């Protein structure tokens, strides 16, 4: 099912790992958790073991963490800090590494779209923050992903007049370009691409942002300056380079194609060439 329609339909994906008949027999499930605890950015962290019991298979992963936190608060213990906002795969804040995979085992999808029925009853689940040098840990599972914001800020705004909506046919956009721009615009800025990449590269993210505007006429006045500045900031923030491992594409909840990285490279070379020609 198309991802946008799946979201609209309430995210009712069937379980992929266990037969539906078995899941319906399981009224509740139990899990052992190993969760990264780190009081603050300066201190050393470690994996701490917890148990959660009587969890419905239809509980989302974040709801399971909510239940664990309720239990911790009842026992007078410090709850686990983790990020979330929309809880429907739109905002990109729920960035976790689960059993070594960015966003967990149910691709494509963000952690908030992951359900406990995806795991075996009695399974041990390891939960860590994204491990990227450019995303320092703030506390427990919460990381600082503002490096991605600074890349977007470097791209600046478009100078095309943004008044009331123009007549639809006044700026013709080829259908192919409109579709590609729409695909690129689906990036939710979660940072999973950088977390999954062995080089800690944010090129899939930057490629989506650069391509989105480069494909549309409204984005053309700043086309060269945008890509040059965004790549410069991406490098300055400490992200690595792409070496074609395709891990980014594999974990991207928005299904951004790695082919956009090729477009980013073309846009960058084009901009350098045109700037070199003094245009």
The answer to whether the beta carbons of residues 256 and 249 sit under 8 Å apart is: yes
The nearer residue to ligand SF4, 92 or 129, going by C-beta atoms, is 92
65, 94, 206, 210: which one binds ligand FES (CB under 6 A):
94
Which distant-in-sequence residues (6+ apart) come within 8 Å of 120 by Cβ?
17, 18
179-208: which residues touch ligand FES (CB under 6 A)? 188
Mark 249-258 as b/e (b = at least 16 C-beta within 10 Å): bebbbbebbb
Q: What residues pair up with 50 in beta bridges, in sequence order?
A: 33
Min dist CB 188 to ligand SF4, Å, is 5
Which of ligand SF4, ligand FES, none does residue 112 bind (CB under 5 to 8 Å by kind)?
A: ligand FES
The nearer residue to ligand FES, 60 or 257, going by C-beta atoms, is: 60
Cα angle 159, 165, 167; round to 5 = 110
Among 33, 64, 96, 112, binds ligand FES (CB under 6 A): 112
Residue whose CB is less far from ligand SF4, 40 or 153: 153
Q: How far is the CB of 247 from ligand FES (least distance, A)?
A: 20
Partner from ligand SF4, ligand FES, none contacting 193, C-beta within 5 to 8 A by type: ligand SF4
Q: What Rg, from alpha-carbon coordinates, does the chain have?
A: 21
Q: Which stretch binds ligand FES (CB under 6 A): 6-14, 33-41, 108-116, 118-126?
A: 108-116
CB atoms within 10 A of CB 139: 18
Does residue 60 interact with ligand FES by CB under 6 A?
A: no
Q: Which is nearer to ligand FES, 90 or 228 (CB)?
A: 90
22 CB contacts (<8 Å, ≥6 apart)?
none
Edge to edge, the sheet with strand 46-55 lists 46-55, 29-37, 124-128, 97-98, 101-102
Cβ 90 to ligand FES shortest distance, Å: 5
Chain positions contacting ligand SF4, by CB under 6 A? 92, 187-193, 204-205, 208, 252-254, 256
């Amino acid at each position: 099912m198309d991802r946008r329609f799946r979201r609209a339909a309430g995210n009712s994906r069937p379980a992929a790992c266990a037969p539906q008949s078995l899941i319906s027999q399981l009224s509740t499930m139990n899990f052992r958790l190993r969760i990264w605890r780190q009081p603050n950015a300066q201190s050393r962290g470690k994996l701490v073991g917890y148990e959660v019991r009587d969890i419905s298979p239809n509980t989302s992963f974040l709801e399971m963490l909510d239940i664990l936190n309720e239990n911790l608060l009842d026992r007078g213990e410090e709850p686990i800090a983790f990020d979330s906002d929309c809880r429907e795969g739109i905002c990109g804040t729920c960035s976790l590494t689960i059993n070594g995979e960015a966003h967990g085992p149910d691709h494509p999808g963000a952690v908030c779209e992951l359900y406990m029925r995806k795991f075996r009853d009695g399974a041990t689940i390891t939960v860590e923050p994204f491990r990227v040098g450019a995303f320092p840990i703030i506390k427990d599972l919460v990381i600082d992903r503002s490096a991605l914001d600074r890349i977007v800020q470097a791209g600046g705004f478009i100078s095309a007049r943004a008044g009331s909506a123009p007549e639809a046919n006044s700026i013709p956009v080829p259908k192919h370009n409109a579709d590609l721009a729409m695909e690129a615009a689906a990036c939710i800025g979660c940072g999973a691409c950088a977390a999954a990449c062995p080089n800690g590269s944010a090129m899939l993210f930057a490629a989506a942002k650069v391509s989105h505007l480069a494909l549309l006429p409204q984005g053309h006045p700043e086309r060269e300056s945008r890509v040059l500045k965004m790549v410069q900031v991406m490098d300055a923030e400490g992200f690595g380079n792409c070496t074609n491992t395709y891990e980014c594409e594999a974990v991207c909840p928005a299904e951004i194609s790695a082919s956009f990285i090729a477009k980013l490279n073309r846009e960058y070379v084009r901009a350098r060439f045109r700037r070199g020609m003094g245009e």
